[in-house]
């Protein structure tokens, strides 16, 4: 999107901001400005506009934002007073793809080559000048972001019809001579005998030229889905289509129509020769949004005065992309200024209730306990070769592997496949577990639940270890299958001991980045992982120890991962080597 500084000042006469600051300010309120440059003695900004801000594909949308940011009133163009007329345009709208269309006839005009100011404006927006009337339609499109069109009534008659093509015409020639293949659903503007324009581009058989004396102007918004489909099928992208496929505000159409009428009469003479036609069957009703002015502070983490919040919400008013309270909160924060959020003070916060399901805490606790008991955790595929019970099995469609067509009904099915791998590689005395989903189809419903499967080469040890888990087993939730055991975790209500524990309520200030270092060492296997974590943690100053954990165990070889903070890399590495005795190895 291009913006000419002097054009912004026509809407905002009080705007007197250095171009570089204006560039930065527009970026900080969410309209990323790539650059600005001076062309033909004009300052031109180049911006990226968000998809949801279709209103900012015209000057008017950006002007409203800058008016709020700088607290400068908007100066609207002078209003044209339509004269009384007994003539009603015989326009029909039969397509449901039309949101709103406004038209009026202007007679006795004298068209000509465009004035220099208009040619310069279009040139800076990369549009070629045609003639005054055509150029003014493009000018108004850029001002308000809403496409419009003018028809020479000596070529079209006044009987315009907004309709879906329905086979009326198969080919259409655009203003530049391109031939398009139309399709039945294509939204078009026609008269009783031929198609005059598509929703994307005007036609050669209705175009305005220097001989035009009477014309009908129209400003319209259509169903954006229809626009996208038409643009894709016609393989045509225009300035109009890029705007019409966004959410445009039909309430802006009267202002754009009035301004275009005034501009044509000011530059080409003539007068209005009809009543204003306005088709708007389903007016937009703005949503009622409950807004709490204290929430912008809560969401942003800084203190934003409630008076400021209420003032911004009142100034923003109705906009199509604002539908919920969070949208209004975003508006308050962006106009307060992201750059005004300090980086050297703690953020405000609100304690929220813990919504994590208790089952997840149960699962995490079980994993920790099983690792302490010397078990390896495995993660396997939920698909298996054959069902345990065909009546309740869930078979996949278009399976990625035809050898595994069914979802497992027991976690043990997956553990047996894992055991085969262990045996194939001749790994001694395996003991491992998996927690995952198992699936079934019962009473017309697809069901799934979390299941814990455990394998131990020694079934007696397996039974002892399960008792150490201290899980309140229920009869239907527990199965013993030789060296395997399986527990349906969804049948268990976690005891209090499995609830999350808060270790430290005190806030920790980070003065540098966290430094992560690993250590692979051989340790005394008579100690549990928990004991080892405590032992090595006690060797490190708590003021620089962020966390210490064991991330891998193989036989008596352990991998420790330590996160250090509030120190530099050199210090962290020195302490790390000393803690795990690795410094002695380096001197050997």
What's the Rg (C-alpha) of the chain?
36
**Nearest partner of 80 among 272, 274, 273, 277, judged by Cα:** 272
Query: Which residues are within 8 A (CB) of 577 and not within 5 positions of it... i.e. 6 or more apart?
Result: 583, 586
Burial pattern 552-564, b for ≥16 Cβ within 10 A else e, equals ebeeeebebebeb
With CA atoms as reference, report the closest residue to 279 among 546, 540, 36, 94.
94
- Cα angle: 233, vertex 146, 191; to 5 degrees: 60
Give the phi and the psi of residue 236 in degrees, each rounded to 5.
-135, 125
Contact 27, 62 (CB under 8 A): no
Give 460: exposed, middle or buried? Use CB within 10 Å, 0-12, 13-18, 19+. exposed
Q: Find the range with the poorest average confidence among 331-340, 442-451, 506-515, 577-586.
A: 506-515
**Residue 357 predicted with pLDDT over 60:** yes
Interval 271-315: pLDDT, tens? 999 999 999 999 999 999 999 999 999 888 889 999 999 999 999
CA 508/CA 111 separation, integer angstroms: 73
Mean pLDDT of 208-235: 96
Of the two residues 416 and 170, the one the predictor is more confident about is 416
Per the CB < 8 A criterion, the answer to whether 168 and 141 are in contact is no
Q: How far apart are CA 433 and CA 480, in angstroms?
A: 14
What does the DSSP 8-state code read for residue 432? E
- Sign of the torsion formed by the C-alpha atoms of 304, 307, 308 and 314: positive
Q: Residue 451: beta bridge partners?
A: 436, 488
Domains assigned to the chain: 2-70 (3.30.56.10), 92-279 (3.50.40.10), 285-350 (3.30.56), 358-498 (3.30.930.10), 515-587 (3.30.70.380)
Q: Could you tell me the two tokens for 520?
A: 């692979």
CB-facing half-sphere around the CA of 90: CA atoms within 13 A: 8
Q: Cβ–Cβ contacts within 10 Å for residue 18, how many?
A: 8
Q: CB–CB of 281/220 below 8 Å?
A: no
State the pLDDT at residue 494: 65
pLDDT tens digits, one per residue of 368-380? 899 989 899 999 9
Model confidence at 588, pLDDT cuts 50, 70, 90, reads very low
More confident residue, 245 or 398: 245
Query: How would residue 414 be classed by pLDDT, with cut points 50, 70 and 90?
Result: very high
Residue 398 is encoded by which pair of tokens?
Answer: 């278009």
Q: Which residue has the higher pLDDT, 473 or 137?
A: 137
Q: What is the pLDDT of residues 557-578, one digit of tens each?
A: 899 999 998 888 899 999 999 9
Residue showing tokens 């309209």:
31
pLDDT band of 497, cuts 50, 70, 90: low
3-state secondary structure at position 265: helix
Cβ neighbours of residue 456 under 8 Å, at least 6 residues apart? 375, 431, 462, 465, 483
Write down the H helix ranges in 104-252.
Answer: 116-124, 132-144, 153-156, 224-234, 239-244
DSSP class of residue 202? B
Rounded distance between C-alpha atoms, residue 297 and residue 309, angstroms: 9
Region 250-275: mean pLDDT is 97
Q: How confident is the model at residue 165 (pLDDT cuts 50, 70, 90)?
A: very high
The pLDDT score that the predictor gives to residue 446 is: 93
End-to-end CA separation in angstroms for the chain: 67
Q: Is residue 327 helix, strand or coil? A: helix
Give the mean pLDDT of 316-332: 95
In 499-582, beta strands by DSSP E:
515-522, 545-554, 557-564
Q: What is the pLDDT of residues 331-341, one digit of tens each?
A: 999 999 988 88
CA quadruple 177, 183, 188, 194: dihedral sign: positive
- What three-state secondary structure class fits 376? strand
pLDDT of residue 348: 57
User: Tokens 């399976």 label which residue?
Assistant: 399
């Amino acid at each position: 999107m291009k913006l000419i500084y002097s054009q912004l000042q026509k809407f905002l006469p009080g705007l007197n901001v250095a171009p570089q600051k204006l560039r930065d300010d527009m970026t900080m309120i969410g309209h990323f400005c790539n650059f600005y440059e001076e062309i033909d003695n004009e300052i031109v900004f180049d911006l990226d506009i968000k998809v949801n801000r279709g209103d900012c594909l015209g000057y008017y949308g950006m002007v409203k934002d800058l008016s709020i940011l700088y607290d400068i009133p908007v100066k609207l163009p002078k209003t044209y007073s339509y004269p009384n007329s007994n003539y009603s345009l015989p326009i029909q709208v039969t397509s449901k793809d039309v949101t709103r269309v406004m038209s009026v006839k202007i007679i006795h005009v004298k068209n000509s080559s465009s004035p220099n100011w208009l040619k310069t404006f279009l040139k800076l927006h990369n549009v070629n000048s045609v003639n005054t009337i055509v150029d003014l339609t493009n000018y108004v499109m850029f001002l308000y972001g809403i496409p419009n069109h003018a028809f020479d009534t000596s070529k079209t008659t006044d009987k315009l019809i907004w309709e879906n093509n329905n086979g009326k015409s198969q080919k259409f020639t655009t203003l530049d001579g391109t031939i398009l293949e139309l399709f039945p659903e294509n939204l078009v503007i026609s008269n009783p005998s031929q198609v005059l324009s598509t929703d994307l581009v005007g036609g050669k058989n209705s175009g305005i030229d220097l001989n035009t004396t009477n014309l009908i102007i129209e400003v319209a918004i259509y169903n954006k889905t229809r626009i996208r489909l038409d643009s894709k099928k016609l393989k045509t992208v225009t300035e109009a289509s890029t705007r019409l496929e966004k959410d445009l505000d039909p309430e802006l159409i009267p202002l754009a129509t009035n301004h275009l009428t005034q501009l044509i009469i000011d530059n080409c003479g003539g007068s209005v020769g009809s009543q204003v036609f306005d088709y708007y069957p389903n007016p937009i009703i703005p949503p009622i949004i409950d807004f709490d002015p204290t929430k912008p502070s809560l969401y942003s983490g800084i203190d934003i005065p409630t008076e400021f919040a209420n003032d911004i919400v009142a100034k923003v008013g109705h906009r199509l992309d604002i539908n919920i309270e969070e949208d209004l909160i975003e508006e308050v924060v962006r106009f307060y200024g992201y750059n005004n959020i300090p980086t050297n003070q703690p953020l405000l916060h609100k304690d929220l209730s813990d919504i994590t399901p208790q089952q997840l805490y149960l699962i995490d606790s079980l994993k920790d306990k099983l690792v302490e008991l010397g078990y390896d955790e495995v993660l396997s595929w939920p698909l298996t070769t054959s069902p345990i019970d065909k009546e309740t099995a869930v078979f996949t469609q278009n399976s990625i592997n035809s050898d595994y067509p069914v979802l497992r009904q027991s976690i043990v099915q997956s553990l047996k496949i894992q055991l085969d791998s262990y045996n194939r590689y001749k790994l001694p005395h395996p003991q491992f577990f998996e927690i995952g989903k198992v699936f079934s189809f019962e009473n017309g419903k697809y069901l799934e639940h979390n299941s814990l499967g455990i394998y131990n080469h020694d079934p007696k040890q397996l039974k002892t270890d399960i008792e150490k888990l201290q899980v309140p087993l229920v009869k239907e939730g527990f199965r013993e299958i030789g060296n395997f055991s399986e527990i349906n975790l969804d049948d268990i209500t976690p005891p209090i001991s499995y609830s999350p524990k808060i270790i430290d309520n005190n806030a920790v200030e980070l003065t540098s980045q966290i430094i992560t270092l690993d250590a692979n060492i051989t340790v005394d296997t008579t100690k549990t992982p928990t004991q080892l974590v405590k032992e090595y943690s006690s060797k490190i100053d708590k003021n620089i120890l962020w966390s210490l954990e064991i991330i891998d165990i193989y036989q008596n070889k352990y991998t420790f991962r330590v996160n250090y903070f509030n120190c530099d890399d050199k210090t962290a590495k020195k302490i790390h080597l000393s803690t795990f005795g690795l410094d002695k190895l380096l001197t050997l």
